[in-house]
Amino acid sequence: MEFKIHGTTLQTLDLILERGESVFTESGGMAWMTGNIAMETNTKGGVLKGLARTFSGESMFLTTYRCEGTKALVTFTPELPGSIIPVILGEGESRICQKDAFMVAESSISLDVHFRKKLGAGIFGGEGFILQKLTGPGAAFVEIAGDVRSYELTAGQTLKVDPGHIAMYEPSISYDISRVSGVRNILFSGEGLFLATLTGPGRVWLQSLPISNLAAKLATYIPTKK
């Protein structure tokens, strides 16, 4: 399977499929396509697995697109301005992603929910207890709001982050929550009560535009009934 990412802040993803190749996405994820494509929509893994996915921000039903001709093109677009990130995974290799990050993946990829084990990280971590887990082998694509920066943390190296900026990280990363110190910092810094502490080894991907920040800004322009 070949892929091409076009654009800057409003990107599109072209997947060029050869005969027999297939990809799956959430319901309504496809924008346009050409060629001999067969579509099949189901819960992919059963009803319980489909219901579990809804808690991680995805649809209960997933749609598979399979090339039945020589070659076909399927194009996908993100829901928000931002970046489309290819995630190439080996056998058993995984990535932990924020809710609703999954866009599309080869059929060999496993999409599961991921539960944060630490109570504090789940309550104050910005995305709740339930995240998404992608496991290879294969290629997957995630959509991340805004621009993306990645950091490779060495063993024991820590990075403190506003939780809303965490887009994706490797499972080897330790994720915990720490309280901001100092009364004035808590009241007037605008950073909230808690920061996420990410500890290596492993790679993390951070987004410049947390979805919660975008929603809060847009809400100020929505008229309210008086």
pLDDT in tens, 36-87: 999 998 877 666 665 655 655 566 688 999 999 999 999 999 988 899 999 9
Amino acid 86: pLDDT: 97
**Coil, helix or strand at residue 138:** strand
Phi and psi dihedrals of 54, rounded to 5? -60, -30
CA atoms within 13 A on the CB side of 149: 8
What's the chain's average pLDDT?
84
Residue 221 in this model has a pLDDT that exceeds 90: no
Q: Which of these ranges, 65-69, 127-131, 209-213, has the smallest mean pLDDT?
A: 127-131
Percent of the chain residues topping a pLDDT of 90? 55
Distance, CA of 39 to chain centre: 23
Q: Does CATH number 3.40.50.2300 belong to domain 2-219? A: no
Output the pTM of the full model. 0.83
Phi and psi dihedrals of 170, rounded to 5? -75, 150
Q: Domain boundaries in the chain?
A: 2-219
Confidence category of residue 196, pLDDT binned at 50, 70, 90: confident
Q: Which of these ranges, 19-33, 78-92, 125-139, has the smallest mean pLDDT?
A: 125-139
Q: Tell me what percent of the chain is helix, strand and coil, each rounded to the nearest 5.
A: 15, 50, 35
Tell me the one-letter amino acid at 157. Q
Residue 189 in this model has a pLDDT that exceeds 90: no
Greater pLDDT, 182 or 79: 79
